[in-house]
Amino acid sequence: MRIPAEPALEPELAIIDTHHHLWAVLPDSIAIGRPYSIDEFHRDVRGGHKVIASVFVECSGSYRADGPEHLRPMGEIEWVLRQEGDNGLMSGLIGFANLQLGSKVGEVLDAYLALAGTRFKGVRHGVVWDPHPGVYVAPRKPPPHLLVDPSYRKGVTELARRDLVFEAWAYFHQLAELAELARTQPDVQIVLCHLGGPVAMGPYASRRDEMLHEWRRALSALARCPNVVMKLGAIGFPPFGAPEVLGPRCSSELIAEYWKPEIRFCIETFGPERCMFESNFPVDDALCDYVTLWNVFKRITSDLTHDERKTLFENTARRTYRL
């Protein structure tokens, strides 16, 4: 854990961290991040901000070593539940289930619900893919156009039948397919994480403005789907380019200046009631410490009303995840 570079701003503002990870050992399939223990996470959230709850999101760690293949990812949630003990900060758990199983994924979802009860909130099966060599893709190396695969969509339907969230992880050029899925499955609650994937590596590094133009166009279309909520974060995710531009010890003022146009665009496009902030720790530790990160989000929203900020930092998460 880094020593916070600056004190927490507005420490009385309640925060729900809607997206963080925990790893005992970084899996071979994960190229970005580092091991992150529950003790480190608790030290981070107690660094000055008023973090009142959090949502753990799957990260391909601690799977079962044996048993049926489709149930092995449950080992991750089992491990997380053992780590937490009596601390009780994690109010929501997002696991992995192979949605390509189609209707058969229902067995996995029911097993998760039996294991974690109402704290189990949904599934993330990332589809991050890009045709260009050298651009980061999801650890499971998904094929292109997975969002329109009939079996995958049947798996999403099983989430809707159980009032579970579909946590979507996609790049900007995949958002049209996500919008199509959202329109055809209006009963499923979709949470688009990581700002909708404004990737800035490979060929996009020298064409960031062009990429952002397409990103804005795709998000504007996606916002017309009322069942989609956005997570604002991953601003330190290396494929998005900020660590290379800003460096690891920048102030919250400089980081906020860099990311404010994109984050405010999301808030203006989706509305505060369909946006919520995420730390994406420990991955975003590549950019800054935990305290500085939340200072960035507070600076970016400093001119919004009290109610709008309460919605962004707390209420959207409560409603979306039924916390």
The stretch 165-183 carries a mean pLDDT of: 98
For residue 180, pLDDT beyond 90: yes
Instruction: Tell me whether residue 2 is in a domain.
Output: no
The answer as to whether 231 is a domain residue is: yes
Q: For residue range 52-106, what is the model confidence (pLDDT) as tens digits? A: 999 999 999 899 999 999 999 999 999 999 987 656 789 999 999 999 999 999 9
Burial 29-46 (b: 16+ CB within 10 A, else e): ebeebeebebebbeebbe
For residue 6, tell me if it sits in a domain: no
Q: How far apart are CA 213 and CA 166, in angstroms?
A: 26
Within a domain: 5: no
Residue ranges making up the domain that contains 73 = 15-321
- What's the average model confidence in pLDDT over 114-119? 96
Averaged pLDDT of the chain: 94
3-state helix, strand, coil in the chain (%, to 5): 50, 15, 40
The answer to whether position 94 is within a domain reads yes
List, for residues 249-303, the tens digit of each pLDDT value.
789 999 999 999 999 999 999 999 999 999 999 999 999 999 999 999 999 999 9
Give all strands (DSSP E) within the chain, no chain letters.
Answer: 14-20, 50-57, 90-95, 120-124, 165-168, 189-192, 228-232, 275-277
Domain assignment present for residue 9? The answer is no
Q: How many Cβ atoms from other residues are within 10 Å of residue 115's Cβ?
A: 15
Total structural domains within the chain: 1
Which residues, 6+ apart, have CB-to-CB distance to 258 below 8 Å?
A: 242, 245, 246
pLDDT recorded at residue 5: 80
Q: What are the tens digits of pLDDT across the range 17-56?
A: 999 999 988 777 677 778 999 999 999 999 999 999 999 9
Look at residue 41 in the predicted model and tell me its pLDDT: 95
Tell me how far apart the alpha carbons of residues 250 and 247 are, in angstroms, rounded to a whole number. 6
Residue 100 belongs to a domain = yes
Give the domain CATH number at 165.
Answer: 3.20.20.140
Q: What is the DSSP letter of 201?
A: S
Q: From residue 311, how far is each of 155, 267, 305 by CA, in Å?
A: 30, 11, 10
Residue 243: pLDDT band (50, 70, 90) is confident
For residue 56, which of 225, 282, 250, 247 has the smallest C-alpha distance?
282
Give the C-alpha separation, 66 to 299, whole Å: 47
